[in-house]
Amino acid sequence: MVYPETRPRRLRTSSTMRKLVCETRLNPADLMYPLFVCPGREIKDPIGSMTDCFHLSAENAANEAKEVAKLGIPAVILFGLPEHKDPTGSGAWSPDSAVAESIKRIKEAVPELVVATDVCLCAYTDHGHCGVIENGRIENDKTCDLLGKMALAHVRAGADIIAPSDMMDGRVGVIRKVLDAEQLVDTAIMAYSAKYASAYYGPFRDAVHSIPSEGDRKSYQMDPGNSKEAMREIRLDIEEGADIVMVKPALAYLDIIRMAQDAFEVPVAAYNVSGEYMMLNAAADAGLIDREQAIMETLLSFKRAGADIIITYFAKTAAQWLS
Ligand code: PBG
Ligand code: ZN
C-alpha cells in the first residue's frame, strides 16, 4: 500500500483554514455598475430583457448612484438613450443629453463616485450601427470625429472616465487629442479594446434599441477565434493613450483577460455582459443552479483570470452579499 506523503487536503480542513490560504477574494471595490439613463423625469421603467435593470431619468440615476456608493462600489458606467435617433446619432453630443444630465445629478448627489460613460453611436443612430454609414460602409474616420464630440460633451458635463465601445481604428487617439486640446487632461480613457462580435450582447441591444437594421457588427468588432489580434488592439489603444483597457465579453474570454494582464501594465477591466448576466439569471430562475454561489463563483473567475475591474449588472447584488 502506498499512501500519499503530500496531502493538499490538509489546507481544506476547516473554513478558517480555507480562509487563511484563499488566493483570490472579491471586494465591492473591484466592481463597476452599469446604469441605463433616458430623457424625461421620474422615470424608472424595468427593462424587459434584463432582470432588475431599469431605464432611469437623471434624478433617479442619482438616487441609484447614492445606493451604489453606499455599498462600497467605486464607479458607475452610464449608457444613454436619446430623444430622437438619426443617421449620425447627433443626440450623442447634445449638451443636455440624458447622459449629460445624469452625470450632473450624480456628481451633485455623490461627488466622490467615479462616473464613466459609454461612448458609442449605436444607441443614437437610426440604423443601429456604431458608426456613420457612407456608401453602405461604416466610415471609420468620420465616426472618430463624432466620438470625439460625444466624449467632449460628457467630460464637460463632469465625466471622470470616457469609455469608447465602438471599435473604430484610432478612436482612442482622437478622443485623447480632443480632450487635451481643451485642457481636459485629467479625464481617463477606458478603452473597450478587445471587444468581440458576440451573441452575448442580445439583451443589451434590446435595452437600448440598437439592433442593427441591416447587417452585423463583424466589420468592426473582433472575431471570437482571435487572441493575437486582441493583444494588438490593446497595444494600439495603450499607445494612443488608453489608461484602462477592457476585454468584452468576460466569461467566454477568460484566456484573453489573463493574456492582457500578463502582457500590459495598465489596469484590465472585464465586462460581464448582458447575455452572460441573463444566462445565469435564467439558470437560477429555473432552479438549476444556486444563484448566489454561481454568481459569486463567476465574478471570482474574472478576478482570478486577471481582471482588475469587473463591470457587471450583478455589482449591487454581489456587494450586498459581500458585506
Ligand atoms: C455599444 C455597447 C454594447 C455593449 C456595451 N456597449 C453593445 C454592442 O456592441 O452591440 C454590450 C453590453 C452588454 O451586452 O451588456 N457599442
Ligand atoms: Zn456601439
The CB of 204 under 6 Å from ligand 1? The reply is yes
Determine, yes or no, domain membership for 118: yes
- Please give the distance, rounded to the nearest whole angstrom, from the Cα atom of residue 9 to the centre of ligand 1: 43
**What is the crossing angle of helices 274-285 and 291-305, to 10°?**
150
Determine, yes or no, domain membership for 233: yes
What is the C-alpha separation between 212 and 217, in angstroms, rounded? 8
Atom of ligand 1 nearest to the CA of 34: 15
Determine, yes or no, domain membership for 158: yes
**Any alpha helices (H) in the chain, and if so which ranges?**
15-21, 58-70, 98-109, 140-157, 171-181, 202-207, 228-240, 254-263, 274-285, 291-305, 315-322
Q: Catalytic residue at 70?
A: no
Q: For the chain, what is the total number of helices (H) and then of strands (E)?
A: 11, 12
Cα dihedral sign for 196, 302, 246, 317? positive
**Rounded average pLDDT over 143-151:** 98
The CB of 205 under 6 Å from ligand 1? The reply is yes
The CB of 274 under 6 Å from ligand 1? The reply is yes
Q: What is the pLDDT of residues 30-40, one digit of tens each?
A: 999 999 999 99
Query: Integer distance in angstroms from the first to the last C-alpha of the chain?
Result: 48
Determine, yes or no, domain membership for 9: no
- Please give the distance, rounded to the nearest whole angstrom, from the Cα atom of residue 3 to the centre of ligand 2: 59
Task: Please report the pLDDT score of residue 72 as a whole number.
Answer: 98
What is the C-alpha separation between 224 and 285, in angstroms, rounded? 29
What is the C-alpha separation between 79 and 242, in angstroms, rounded? 20
The CB of 276 under 6 Å from ligand 1? The reply is no
79: β partners? 36
Task: Identify the domain containing residue 244 by its residue range.
Answer: 25-322
Task: Please report the pLDDT score of residue 123 as a whole number.
Answer: 97
| C-alpha Rg value of the chain to the nearest Å | 20
Q: And the C-alpha cell for 250? A: 468576460
Determine, yes or no, domain membership for 144: yes
Determine, yes or no, domain membership for 19: no
Domain count, the chain: 1
Determine, yes or no, domain membership for 10: no
Cα dihedral sign for 226, 230, 233, 239? negative
The CB of 55 under 6 Å from ligand 1? The reply is no
User: Per the confidence metrics, is the pTM higher than 0.85?
Assistant: yes
**Rounded average pLDDT over 222-251:** 98
Note the residue count of the chain.
Answer: 323
Q: What is the pLDDT of residues 245-296, one digit of tens each?
A: 999 999 999 999 999 999 999 999 999 999 999 999 999 999 999 999 999 9
Which ligand is closest to the CA of 276, given by its number? Answer: 1
**Rounded average pLDDT over 52-56:** 98
Which of 33, 49, 120, 216 for a ligand 1 pocket mutation test, highest count of atoms within 8 Å of Cβ?
A: 120
Q: Catalytic residue at 248?
A: yes
**Rounded average pLDDT over 217-239:** 97
Query: Which residues touch 68 (CB under 8 Å, ≥6 apart)?
Result: 33, 76, 113, 315, 316
Residue 60: give its domain's CATH number: 3.20.20.70
Determine, yes or no, domain membership for 15: no
User: Is the per-residue pLDDT at 214 higher than 90?
Assistant: no
